[in-house]
Amino acid sequence: MSAHKMMKYCCYCGAELCLQQIAGDIQPRLWCGQCQHVHYQNPTIMVAAFLYCGDKLFWTQRGIEPCKGKWAFPAGFVECGESLQQAAARELEEETGIQIKPSAMIPMSISSIIPIDQAYMVFRSACDTELLAQTTEETLDYGWFSRADAPWDKMAHEDSKPLVEQVYSAIENNDFFIRIGKMDLTGNCHQCYSLKP
């Protein structure tokens, strides 16, 4: 577990937490001696929506920190009470005003980002036309870019460049895949599984 997520006090009763081995568990857990609550700490899930039209991908320019002014894709954290697909559709709509049915969000990439304890799930959705979007507080601008025109040198998350390049290859060749793997301190390690029979 990353140190930055280590909780110090119980969020229910305020007592100081300690690490305690729970019977049958594989590792010590943060435990409150006062109210006996075990505070499990698990990765948070982030979702992203990659819209495409022909060989173009829909990019957004971030309106908020971190990376304000840089280019990325609509994304955010899954809320309790919604599915992964609903979260992707909601984030897309919040950031751009574009409405896509959750069921049209097709899984494309599943990454474990180990150093920050996040799982990152990317969905794709095909569009018949280059949809118009709204700019919002979160989104300064947007664009439908082919690989040649994409704002590669102004990407918010350089780490996701290999993914975005693979997504371009998929839409250019109409050859889609499910990509799964991890990013950790040793680098970026993913495997692509073609969806072609």
Give me 191's structure tokens: 């495997």
Q: Which one of residues 2, 5, 6, 12 is an interface residue with Zn ion (CB under 5 A)? A: 12
Instruction: Tell me how crowded residue 20 is: count the other CB atoms within 10 A of its CB.
Output: 13
Query: What is d(CA 46, CA 191) in angstroms, rounded to the nearest whole number?
Result: 20
Tell me whether residue 37 or residue 70 sits nearer to Zn ion (CB atom). Answer: 37
* Interaction residues for Zn ion, span 55-84 (CB under 5 A): none
Tell me whether residue 12 or residue 77 sits nearer to Zn ion (CB atom). Answer: 12
Whether a cis peptide bond, with omega within 30° of 0, leads into 66 is: yes
> Quick one: DSSP state of residue 131?
-
Tell me whether residue 8 or residue 196 sits nearer to Zn ion (CB atom). Answer: 8
Q: For residue 189, what are the β-bridge partners?
A: 182
Tell me whether residue 17 or residue 78 sits nearer to Zn ion (CB atom). Answer: 17
Residue count, binding to Zn ion (CB under 5 A): 7
Q: What is the largest CA-CA distance in the chain?
A: 60
Query: Using the rule CB under 5 A, is 17 a contact of Zn ion?
Result: no
Binding site for Zn ion (CB under 5 A): 10, 12-13, 15, 32, 34-35
